[in-house]
Amino acid sequence: MFRLPATTPPLKRANLQLLLEYAWDSGAFTATEALSIGLTRSTIIDLLDELAECGLVTELPNAREDGSYQKGRPARRFEFTADAGIVVGVDAGREHLTTTVSNLRGVTISSGQVEVDPGADSPETRRALLRKVVADQLSTTRHTIDQVAALCVGVPAPVDARGTSPAHVEGFWQRTNPDFATVFEDQVPIIRVENDALLAAVAEGSVGGGVDCSDFVTFLSGERFGAGIVVDGRLLRGAHGGVGEMLGLDLVAGAEGVDGLGLRAARLARTAVEQNAISPNSALLSVPSHEINGKLVLEAANEGDIDALRIVAEVGGVLARIVGLVASLFDPERVIIAGGVAPGADGLIAAAREELPALLHLPVPELVRSELGAGVVSVGAVQHALRSLRDGILDL
Using one digit for the tens of pLDDT, what is the confidence trace for 32-79? 999 999 999 999 999 999 999 989 999 998 755 555 555 556 788 999
Q: What is the pTM of this model?
A: 0.91
297 lies in the same domain as 283 = yes
State residue 72's pLDDT score: 54
State residue 30's pLDDT score: 95
Instruction: Return the DSSP state at 278.
Output: S
Residue 1 lies in a domain: no
Residue 3 lies in a domain: no
Per-residue pLDDT at 140 exceeds 90? yes
How are beta strands 96-103 and 108-115 bridged, if at all? antiparallel
93 lies in the same domain as 109 = yes
Average pLDDT of the chain is 92
Using one digit for the tens of pLDDT, what is the confidence trace for 307-352? 999 999 999 999 999 999 999 999 999 999 999 899 999 999 999 9
State residue 68's pLDDT score: 55
102 lies in the same domain as 130 = yes
State residue 249's pLDDT score: 81
* Domain, as residue range, for 171: 86-206+377-395
Per-residue pLDDT at 108 exceeds 80? yes
Least confident interval from 167-176, 235-244, 266-275: 167-176
User: Which of 80, 111, 136 is the C-terminal boundary of a domain?
Assistant: 80
The rounded distance, in Å, linking the Cα atoms of 59 and 37 is 19
User: Which of 23, 56, 80 is the C-terminal boundary of a domain?
Assistant: 80
- pLDDT band for position 9 (cuts 50, 70, 90): confident
User: Which of 56, 80, 104 is the C-terminal boundary of a domain?
Assistant: 80
Mean pLDDT, range 127-146, rounded to an integer: 96
245 lies in the same domain as 296 = yes
The rounded distance, in Å, linking the Cα atoms of 186 and 192 is 14
The rounded distance, in Å, linking the Cα atoms of 50 and 236 is 37
137 lies in the same domain as 196 = yes
State residue 157's pLDDT score: 93
305 lies in the same domain as 383 = no
Distances (CA, A) of 373 to 131, 292, 347, 368: 25, 21, 16, 13
Residue 29 lies in a domain: yes
Residue 5 lies in a domain: no
DSSP 144-182: -GGGEEEEEEEESS---TTS-----TTSHHHHH-SSGGG
| Count of domains forming the chain | 3
CB count within 10 Å of CB 38 equals 10
Distances (CA, A) of 9 to 23, 45, 48, 189, 372: 21, 17, 16, 22, 42
CB count within 10 Å of CB 185 equals 10
State residue 255's pLDDT score: 75
Residue 230 lies in a domain: yes
State residue 101's pLDDT score: 97
Asked whether the beta carbons of 163 and 192 are under 8 A apart, the reply is yes
Using one digit for the tens of pLDDT, what is the confidence trace for 279-314? 999 999 999 999 999 999 999 999 999 999 999 999
25 lies in the same domain as 108 = no
Domain at 72, CATH number: 1.10.10.10
Q: Beta partners for 151?
A: 88, 191
State residue 86's pLDDT score: 97
Asked whether the beta carbons of 158 and 173 are under 8 A apart, the reply is yes
Residue 168 lies in a domain: yes
218 lies in the same domain as 345 = yes
Domain at 129, CATH number: 3.30.420.40
Asked whether the beta carbons of 84 and 107 are under 8 A apart, the reply is no
332 lies in the same domain as 255 = yes
334: nearest Cα among 246, 253, 227, 258: 227
Length of the chain: 396
State residue 396's pLDDT score: 77
How much of the chain, in percent, has pLDDT values that exceed 70? 96
**Cβ burial 70-106 (10 Å sphere, 16+ → b, else e):** eeeebbbbbebbbebbbbbbbbbbbeebbbbbbbbeb
State residue 225's pLDDT score: 87
Residue 366 lies in a domain: yes
219 lies in the same domain as 364 = yes
* Phi/psi of residue 219, nearest 5 degrees: -90, 120
State residue 75's pLDDT score: 84
Mean pLDDT, range 196-219, rounded to an integer: 97
147 lies in the same domain as 266 = no
Mean pLDDT, range 188-210, rounded to an integer: 97
State residue 256's pLDDT score: 72
Assign 3-state DSSP to the chain and report helix, strand, coil percentages, each to 5. 45, 20, 35
Sign of the four-CA dihedral 168, 170, 176, 178: positive
With 0-12 / 13-18 / 19 or more C-beta atoms within 10 angstroms meaning exposed / middle / buried, residue 347 is buried
Per-residue pLDDT at 250 exceeds 90? no
178 lies in the same domain as 232 = no
